[in-house]
Every structure is written in structure tokens, then in C-alpha cells.
Amino acid sequence: MTRYARLFATRIGPWCVLMVCAAVAMVAAPGAADLASKVRNDQVTFLPGDSESVAVSRELRAFPGGELTPALVVFRRDGGLTQADRRAIAAARDAWAAPRPSLGTRTATRVIGTPADVAAGFSVPLHVQGDTDLLRRAVGEIRRSTARGLPPGLSTAVTGPAGYSADAVDAFGDVNRTLFLAAAGLVLVLLLLIYRSPVFWVLPLGCVLFAEHLVRAAAAAAADAGLTINSQTEGILLVLVFGAGTDYALLLVARHREELRRHASPRAAAAAAVRRAGPAIAASAGTVVAGLLVLSLAQVNSTAGLGPVGALGVAISAVVMLTLLPALLGVCGRRVFWPMVPRVGDEGDAHAGVWARLGGAVMRRPRRTWAATLAALLALAGGLVFLGDRLTSADAFRGDVESVRGQRMLDGAFPAGVSAPTAMLVPPGGDVLSAEAAAASVPGVIAVGSRRRGPAGTSVQVVLGDDPLSEAAYDVIPELRRDVRTAVPGTRVGGITAIEKDLADAGVRDALVLPPLILVVVFAVLAALLRCLAAPLVLIATVIVSFAGALGFSAWFFNLVLGAPGTDPSLPLYGFVFLVALGVDYSIFLMARAREETPRHGTRGGMLRALSLTGGVITSAGVVLAGTFAMLCLLPLWALVQVGFLVAFGVLLDTLVVRTLLVPAIVADMGRRVWWPSSLSRPRDAP
């Protein structure tokens, strides 16, 4: 890092970096503009790729009509359908009797009523082949067409697989534009408040926007190489780039301002800032990158896709902040900080200010401080008892969604499972009658329907009594699979209910397997940076307790304050990787500075100086990162709202409590032993 930093001390070095960045921006422009066309939101991008249900879905596409996605049109009047209602329903069905190639629709099925005569409906098969724009247009036109001219009091909705898919695509439609504007606006406001300069904010925000530009181009290239990217991944990626990129910018600028008080040349100050802050920024980014790369081992496609894409985004953000930003700082000089321009010789006092006073209080009573802080975090973790039921696809949306409303209209009128029957695939040569008999005997199955023959065997529709997107329906799948396989070996079960069940099971597996791997990777990065073993173990333990506290408080907040219908299955894993990888960042910056100060001031003195010198900038960085993740709470999907709130609260907890109280108190209590087995742990090097 020292040799690299010298580049920014030369007269021509910063200008060369700026020219290279300009050339890279022009080369990346086509890819950045093309990312939107690479994003896929079809169901497979969110699923466990090698699960039984996904394999069945792929094979069913080769069956007659297997490529079709049904849109189920439902009509209901609670007091009973009238003759006018029946005529209106028949007319609505006749409007879709003929195929419409421009919308991908096929001939609508006949109208089916209910014995209670309170509801009726028909299905319009869609042939969209993964074209989400065509799916949205078709479902939208069906909804507009069927809602026209209905008698007062007759309700209608379009649901079924096509309805749910169209609503999911609509929910993601404006995600990235909303997030981009909200994140950029928030970062701008925070930079103005932090630096109190009408000019300087342009540099860090410009670098973040440049990083976002490069990340979009890199993500598009990754998609061309076969990596699956959906809108959820794209939205989280944008938040990561804005949050992490701004954090790294704040930390480098803080060190640059400090060096401007020691160096007359802004270029020399920029070089010194890179040399001294660069290793901590690189280690911080390396921790996040390594943690995210572990996600590529996940079984759930959306989680596995987020891993490498997120790692790419964080890595590019760190590189930009260690290249473009110091070049701009060297070229623009100290006047860019006007009106608060740092002057040579204006060292300041590391023992003055709120952070110095707080650090002094912690150093005087370290054991009492860390014990009380730990007790408070464990109390927050008690909120884990409020973790709700799993959030299902039917409950994924915030607010009123037509496909969900349509499913509710079916309740009590049709068997709930009729909107999305489960598919049983009997292998070629298998005894279909025995498989049907076994399926019919499973509790929760109310009907065994029509058959279709195809290359992979015979597909049989199995209708469940519960809502196909409910926990009760999910619980039927394991017994159904066991019984039909016992009757006819090789029989498999698919359909939307089985897919959701496999998705939940894969999410549980990922949440159990991946966190230990993430901890090992993070520990290795910390040990390499701090050149000891005890301190990394302390930091790992503190972020685990912090994560438990953040998740517990969030569970309580979701359940009792927001009234969320459940907890997204991926929330614990996403929260863990972001809070462990990102949350440990602030402890990294604190401990790296403490290690730098320890040889001259001892362990306690070094920690006090580190807390005093880094307190303001680390707090600012934490607020920025928490704010950018909080932007996810603006979106209409419970899963992203929950991730955004959990990470935002957890980052603030790490910044204001763990880094400020818990870590300094433990280090002060342990003394030089915290640096074991490095030379700093020996009596002659630290008191």
C-alpha cells in the first residue's frame, strides 16, 4: 500500500488516475445502460435451483400446454350471484374465447360456478415464455376487460399463477428508480450536514455515482456470463454500493483532513491518507466481499446470485474510493473544504471532545461498562421469541394486491387449492392408479384431478383443501411425497405449493450452513489485518451478540408495531451476512487505529486515542449506511422492508453501542492480552 500511495504524491499521478477513470467510465457506459434488460424476475430466479419441485416444473413444460401460465378470473357476490351477474360473467368469458397472439392468450376455459352459487370463474391460459412485459400487459388487459360493465356489488379479481407473477413484477417495477433517487438524496443531505461545505459533497457523491456506474456495467457482464440477477438482487446491490461506497469515502476523507494538518501539499496528504487508511478500508471491503461470496454456496437462487454480484459491487466501490477519490483530493486541494479549511499545524487535541470524554469514562470502569452493555444486548435478543410465522408469497406484498384479493375471494367458495393445483409426476411405466389412490388418502388433499401424458411420464393434478400459498398447504407436501413415492417409486411432486415448501426448506438449510462459513472467513481477514488472534475473536463475539440483539428487536418491532404477517425466511441469513460483514467494519477501523497508536501510548491509551480520533467519522459512516439500507423500507414488499429495517437498526447498534462501549471496554479490561500472540501482547511493548 505504501508504494501505491506514492502515486498520489507526484504531480502527474493524480491526473493519470483521473484520465484512466474517465476512459473506464466511457467503456462501461453501454453495459451500465443495458443492465435493466439483463434483469430476470421469473419465478426460477428466486428458487432453489436443484430442488424436486423446480425439476418437475421444467419437465412439465414439455407436456401439452405445459408452457402455459393460467390467469384465473374470479367473480363473487356474497349474497349469491344474480342472473345479471351470470350474463356479465359469460360476456367477460366470451371476450377471451378467441386467442390473442399479441397478448399471448389462448382460449379461455368454460365458466365454473360453485354449489353455494356465490362465486364463479374461468381461466385464461397465457403463453408468455418468461417475457415479463408481455405477462404484465396480458394480465393488465384481462383485468381491465373483465372489470368493465359489471353489475353493482359483483366483485372480480385476476389471480392464479399469472396474477401473482404480474403483481410481483409490478412490485419490483420501480424499485431501482425509487431506491436510486432516495439513496442519492439521503447521501447528499448527510454529506452536507457532515462537512458543512457547499462544495465538498460533490467529490464523495460523484465517486459513489461513478462506482454505481461501473457496478452496473460489471453486473451486466456477469449476467451475460450466466449469473442470474433479479430485481431484488439489483435493489440490494444499489443500496450496498451507496452505503459501503460512502462509508469508505468518509473514512478516507477523515484521514485526509487529518493529514492536511501535517502536510503542506494536498497531494502528500492524499498519499499519506491512502497509506494509513487504505489497509483498513481494504480489509473492511475484503471482509464484506468474502462474506458475500459465501452466499454463492446457497441453494436458493436469489441468495446465491446476490453473493457474487454484491461482492463485485463492494469491491468496485472500495477500488474507486482508493483511486478516484484520493486523486480528486490531491488535485482539488484543501480549499475544497471551504469554509472549514484544515490548516497545517492545526493538530487539534485527541483528548478533547465528546468522544474523548466518553472514552475516558469507559476506560475508568471497563468491566462494568461491557457487562452492562452485554446485558442490554442480550435483553434485546430476547425479542427473538416474537419471530413470526414464515412469510408466504400470498403475504409478501404490503397493501392491497389484486392477486391476493382474488385468492381470498375463492375462500369458502371453491376449494382453496383449485387456483394452483399441485402437480404429481408419475414416471413412465408407473402405476398411475396406485399413485392417485395414495395421493387421495393424504390428509389435506380433497381431489385428484385430470391427467396429462408427456415425455417424463403422467402428470396428475392434486387439489389441496388449503390456500396453496399457506403454511397449512406447505405442511401437506412432505407427507404427499412420502406416500406417493411409497406407492410408486420415482413419483415426484411439484407445483407452486411444493416450490414454496422447497424454497422455505432451502432457506433454512442456508441459514444453518452459511453463517459458520462466513464467521471463519471474517475471522481470517481480521487476523490478517490485526496480526493477532485474540482481538479477532473478541470482535467476532461482539458482532454475533449485536446481530442477535438487532434481530430480536426487529422481530418484536415487526410483530407488535408493524403487524407484519410473518418473517421472510431469508431474513436471518441476509441480516447475518450484512451485519457481521458490514457491522464489523466499524470495529475494524477502530481496532486498526488502536493498533497503530498502541506502540506509543499503550493498549488503553491507544484505544482512547483511537476512539477519540475516529468517533465522529465512524458515527457519520454508520448513519449513512443505516440510512441507505432504511431506504428499502420505502418499497412495497415485506421481505425488503424487513431486511432494510434489520440492517439499518443493526448498523446503528454496532456504531453507537458495540464500537463505542462494548469493544473499547473489553479491550481496556483485557489490556495487552487482546493483541495475543503478537509482540504488542508482551509487557515491554504495551502496559
| Tens digits of residue pLDDT in 213-266 | 999 999 999 888 878 787 778 888 888 898 889 889 988 998 898 899 888 899
Task: Give the pLDDT of residue 62.
Answer: 82
What residues contact residue 3 under an 8 Å CB cut-off, 6+ apart? none
Task: Give the pLDDT of residue 542.
Answer: 92
Task: Give the pLDDT of residue 299.
Answer: 84
Nearest to 348 by CA among 621, 663, 618, 615: 615
The CATH architecture annotation of domain 52-171 reads 2-Layer Sandwich (3.30)
Amino acid sitting at position 430? G
Nearest to 384 by CA among 509, 514, 554, 571: 554
C-alpha cell read off for 98 = 378467441
Task: Give the pLDDT of residue 432.
Answer: 92
List the beta strands (DSSP E) in 313-456.
Answer: 422-426, 445-454
CB atoms within 10 A of CB 412: 14
What residues contact residue 525 under an 8 Å CB cut-off, 6+ apart? 283, 286, 287, 290
Nearest to 186 by CA among 174, 201, 203: 201
CATH code that applies to domain 421-494: 3.30.70
Nearest to 158 by CA among 173, 145, 172: 145
**pLDDT tens-digit map of 544-562:** 999 999 999 999 999 888 8
Amino acid sitting at position 335? R
One fold for both 52-171 and 354-398+517-687?
no
Specify the pairing of strand 445-454 against strand 457-464. antiparallel
Look up cell 382474488; give the residue. 406
**Maximum distance among all Cα pairs of the chain, rounded to whole angstroms:** 96
Task: Give the pLDDT of residue 639.
Answer: 84
Nearest to 509 by CA among 520, 519, 501: 501
Task: Give the pLDDT of residue 687.
Answer: 42
- Which helix H or strand E contains 61, and what residues bound it? none
What whole-number distance in Å separates Cα of residue 505 and Cα of residue 499? 10
Task: Give the pLDDT of residue 529.
Answer: 83
Cis preceding linkage at 339, omega within 30: yes
C-alpha cell read off for 132 = 415479463
DSSP 491-503: -EEESHHHHHHHH
Task: Identify whether the C-beta of residue 107 lies closer than 8 Å to the C-beta of residue 117.
Answer: no
Task: Identify whether the C-beta of residue 570 lies closer than 8 Å to the C-beta of residue 648.
Answer: no
Among the four given CATH numbers 1.10.3720.10, 3.40.80.10, 1.20.1640.10, 1.10.10.10, the one describing domain 354-398+517-687 = 1.20.1640.10
User: With the C-alpha atoms ordered 389, 392, 397, 401, is the resulting torsion angle positive or negative?
Assistant: negative
Q: What are phi and psi for residue 539, nearest 5 degrees?
A: -65, -40
What whole-number distance in Å separates Cα of residue 508 and Cα of residue 300? 10
Amino acid sitting at position 353? G
> Which residues of the chain, if any, have pLDDT below 70?
1, 41-47, 49, 66, 172-176, 347-352, 388-389, 394, 412, 684-687
Give residue limits of the domains in the chain.
Answer: 1-38+190-224+242-340, 52-171, 354-398+517-687, 421-494
Q: Is 426 helix (H, G, I), strand (E, B) or coil?
A: strand
